[in-house]
Amino acid sequence: MTTIKSLILGSAAGLLAMSGAQAADLPVKAKAVEYVRICSLYGAGFYYIPGTDTCIKLSGYLRADATLNGAANYDGPNWAGGTAASQGTRARDELLTRSRFDFDVDTRTSTEYGVVRTYFDATFNWTGGGADGIASSDIGVYYAFVQFAGFTIGKAISQFDAPWTGYPGNQGSYLIGTADDVTGIDQFAYTAQFGGGVTATISFEDPSFYDQSQLINTGTMMVGAANQAAVIAGLPTSGSSGPFANGYGGVVMPDIIGAIRVDQAWGLFQLSGAFHDIHSEYYGATEITGHPDDAYGGAVQAALSIKNIPTGPGDTINMSGGYANGAARYIIGGVSGNGFGLFGGTNVAGAYQKVSWATNADGIFSPGTGISKTNTYGFQGAYTHNWDPHWATSIFGSWVAQRYGSTGGALYCAGMAAVIAGQGATYSCNPDFNLSQIGSYTSWTPVKNLTFSAEVMYSYIKQNMSGTAVMSPGGLTPTTTYAFGNQGTVSGLLRVQRVF
């Protein structure tokens, strides 16, 4: 009996052990795993944010540049200003370098009102050298906007600009000739879609940074040797622009932009217009000195792109031209400066050097007068040819002319007479000027999204000041006699860029 009892108990224990092991092997209900899914609604690179119906795309680029004879990194020529580093002396940096990381975040969600989109673009820069010869790092926000039901709200490229902004076929910044708000401008815009690639846009945009040139006030002179450096190119000295204080007051209304655009397989055409308020400060240092009434300016621009021309697959022609009255930034692009100047050698007897200058302004006024507006004309264009899938070359150029008119010119020259001493017998004052640029860009893309490129550009100032005068440019350049004349300069840019 004892033996039989032991066998029964042992068998029972074995069965219990087996049943326990099998129970442990049974599947247990686990938490759901959120897998990242491809979102094919908006093109390549989009994924659904786990647990939502929102799609997101992360992209950007890493870039390294070397600029030769530039005013700043991937800038135009080293226009002369009020520092020794910009006057062609041995103190200037003829080589400038920059490394940049650009990061973009694009989100989109389908709703019953259409797609809700947000877009953010930030840049992280390390710059070697500069106007003060000191390396620096900085963070910038190019774009930060929301799009919904046809509205664009936030910081984006101006609706006035051509789609290529200031880059019809170049890689360096500051190709003048038309509007260039490539780093974005605050706006509230609405775009209507009419089908067939036809759209119309109205936009209210903040002009305070990119779309105000300078408003010259001859009543607040920046007189003295320390500030004559600013005369050379209308560049800021002591917080002001040029030999006179910048007379712009605060922003009281946005610029109003309208644009009509046609996108087709052959290319695109765009016609843009802008309305600009010119709101001054006071004639003198305080409000009791009075002020001129507001003046109103504007600009128009036409842009044309022709794609796949017979010279080769992917070849393009981009061009744009415009006119501005009291709104010069819409022609001498928003990211450009207000002053352009060059120093060079001269054979004029008694003159130490030749100097060229051009002062960009929306208008000018003096105590007791109204605002006299400038007229500005401009054009830029480029032809790009693809030699094969890896090599491409472009030829680009631009032209600008600014005219102060008889009233504006007289006000400017009356003010200049108090700044420039020792005027020679042949001295003649006329602030009107022309600027022109021509260049070429070649790129090599050995593998997808990796590009090596080089660019060279010639810039030329045709100014209407003449004769000689004693000036104090400051820096390492002496106070002595200078001759006015036209001149040009060459700048270049080398770049490697990896897009992801």
User: Looking at residues 168-192, what average pLDDT do you find?
Assistant: 92
Q: Give me the mean pLDDT over the 200-220 stretch.
A: 91
pLDDT at 283 over 80: yes
Average pLDDT for residues 420-449, to the nearest whole number?
92
pLDDT at 90: 77
Q: Which residues contact 139 (CB under 8 A, 6 or more apart)?
A: 122, 123, 124, 125
Residue 31 has pLDDT above 60, yes or no: no
The pTM for the full model equals 0.87
Q: What is the pLDDT of residues 309-359, one digit of tens each?
A: 999 899 999 999 999 999 999 999 878 878 888 888 999 999 999 988 888
pLDDT at 176 over 50: yes
Residue 445 has pLDDT above 50, yes or no: yes
- pLDDT-based confidence at 460, cuts 50/70/90? very high
Inform me whether the pLDDT recorded for 385 exceeds 80.
yes
Q: What was the pLDDT predicted at 231?
A: 46
Sign of CA dihedral 137, 81, 340, 371: positive
**pLDDT at residue 29, as a whole number:** 56
Q: Is 90 exceeded by the pLDDT of residue 198?
A: yes
At residue 244, the pLDDT reads 65
- pLDDT tens for residues 36-62? 899 999 999 999 999 999 999 999 999
Beta strands in 69-113 (DSSP E): 95-111
What is the structure's pLDDT at 163? Answer: 94
Question: Both tokens of residue 186?
Answer: 């605050």
What tokens does 340 get? 């352009």
Q: What is the pLDDT of residue 80?
A: 61
Q: What percent of the chain has pLDDT over 90?
A: 65
Q: Which 3-state string (H, E, C) describes 167-222?
A: CCCCCCCCCCCCCCCCCCEEEEEEEEEEECCEEEEEEEECCCCCCCCCEEEEEEEC
Task: Kindly state the average pLDDT of the residues 446-451.
Answer: 97
Furthest-apart CA atoms within the chain: distance in Å: 141
pLDDT over 70 (residue 93): yes
Residue 398 burial by Cβ neighbours in a 10 Å radius (0-12, 13-18, 19+): buried
Domains delineated in the chain: 38-499 (2.40.160.10)
Q: Please, which pLDDT band fits residue 30 given cuts at 50, 70 and 90?
A: low
In this model, does residue 9 exceed pLDDT 50? no
What does the pLDDT read at residue 136?
A: 79
pLDDT classification of 243: cutoffs 50, 70, 90: low
221 pLDDT band, cuts 50/70/90, is low
Q: Please measure the distance between the N-terminal and C-terminal CA atoms of the chain and give it in whole angstroms.
A: 82
Q: At residue 14, does pLDDT exceed 50?
A: no
Determine which of 8-17, 186-195, 427-436, 451-460 has the lowest per-residue pLDDT on average: 8-17
